[in-house]
Amino acid sequence: MSFEIVLQTLVSGLLIGLIYALVAVGLTLIFGVMDIVNFAHGEFLMFGMYSSFWLFALYAFDPLLTLPLTALMLFALGVVVYRLVISKIINAPMLSQIFTTFGLMILFRGIAQFLWKPDFRTVENSMVSGNVSLLGVQIGLPQLVAGVGAVLVSVGVYLFLTRTKVGIALEATAADKEAARLMGIDTRRMFALAWGVAAACTGVAGALLSTFFPIFPEVGATFVLIAFVVVNLGGFGSVIGALIAGLLVGVIEVMGGFFIGPQYKLAIVLSLFLGVLMFRPQGLMGKA
């Protein structure tokens, strides 16, 4: 076992961890603002991947070039889902909220299977195909671009939440909805914005993933389980926590699969998750 192989495995873990973080950012944003767990979050990612694939297959538009359009379409889908469904259950019992988002997951997955069949599809010959060599480490160019894109978007979301008036209003709504309403903040609009931004994050992640990951109706389930682990590990509602936890989970998953066995990598991640729940249930960046 050479140092180069270990280093390459570590880099692969960091890059996939950045994608996990980007998917988790939207999930933690919805929970932080509305205290709703969105079980359909992975299906938004799936729609983002299919959007990129069909724009590429039908019009030869590369996923990277259509990334803003994919993000905009997913933003609109998130707002529509909030207006038509989620707004009706904001004050409902938590069990009703869980069943609603779980039902959305089943519905969206069924729509995808009906429209596009359960076939695996791929984007071939993207503009970011091939490998690059960094410090003697061979890295897939699609994975590298996806990792860089995930960092930029995650940092952009953080800056939006902390440096803009709308973002600060969103943060205020997350901190205390009643107080925010009394201060003149339209909390319903903030809720819709949270769903839109969260869906747009999955749209970006889907566009980046479509350049190297197979696309099929259940692809969201592949990432959303890890995203839940990342959100819990980083602390519900913390964007920075999601970013740090995503990197940590990605490295642990890939390195654990390399040293112990690929069949155990998910078990290793879930074991870490259970350990954090026992000793620090609020997560790494959550408040005690």
pLDDT tens across the length of the chain (288 residues): 577 788 888 888 999 999 999 999 999 888 888 888 899 999 999 999 999 999 999 999 999 999 999 999 999 999 999 999 999 998 888 889 999 999 999 999 999 999 999 999 999 888 888 888 876 778 889 999 999 999 999 999 999 999 999 999 998 998 888 888 888 899 999 999 999 999 999 999 999 999 999 999 999 988 888 988 898 888 877 888 888 899 999 999 999 888 888 888 888 888 887 887 788 777 776 655
As given in the structure block, the two tokens for residue 179 are 């107080």
User: Tens digits of per-residue pLDDT, 14-40?
Assistant: 999 999 999 999 998 888 888 888 999
Residue 287's pLDDT is 55
Which residue do the tokens 């695996």 mark?
Answer: 120
pLDDT of residue 271: 86
pLDDT value for 265: 85
pLDDT of residue 164: 93
Please tell me the total number of residues recorded for the chain in this structure: 288
pLDDT digit string, tens, across residues 189-206: 999 999 999 999 999 999
Whole-number pLDDT of residue 208: 94
CATH of 3-279, one of 1.10.8, 3.40.50, 1.10.3470, 1.10.287: 1.10.3470
The phi, psi pair for 54, rounded to 5°, reads -70, -35
Please state, in angstroms and rounded to a whole number, the distance separating the CA atoms of residues 165 and 167.
5
**Cβ contacts of 153 within 8 Å, gap of 6 or more:** 22, 25, 201, 204
Supply the pLDDT for residue 82. Answer: 96
pTM attached to this predicted model: 0.91
Strand partners, 131: 140
3-state secondary structure the chain: CCHHHHHHHHHHHHHHHHHHHHHHHHHHHHHHHHCCCCCCHHHHHHHHHHHHHHHHHHHCCCCCCCHHHHHHHHHHHHHHHHHHCHHHCCCCCHHHHHHHHHHHHHHHHHHHHHHHCCCCECCCCCCCCCEEEECCEEEEHHHHHHHHHHHHHHHHHHHHHHHCHHHHHHHHHHHCHHHHHHCCCCHHHHHHHHHHHHHHHHHHHHHHHCCCCCECCCHHHHHHHHHHHHHHHHCCCCHHHHHHHHHHHHHHHHHHHHHCCHHHHHHHHHHHHHHHHHHCCCCCCCCC
Closest alpha carbon to 152 in 204, 222, 83:
204
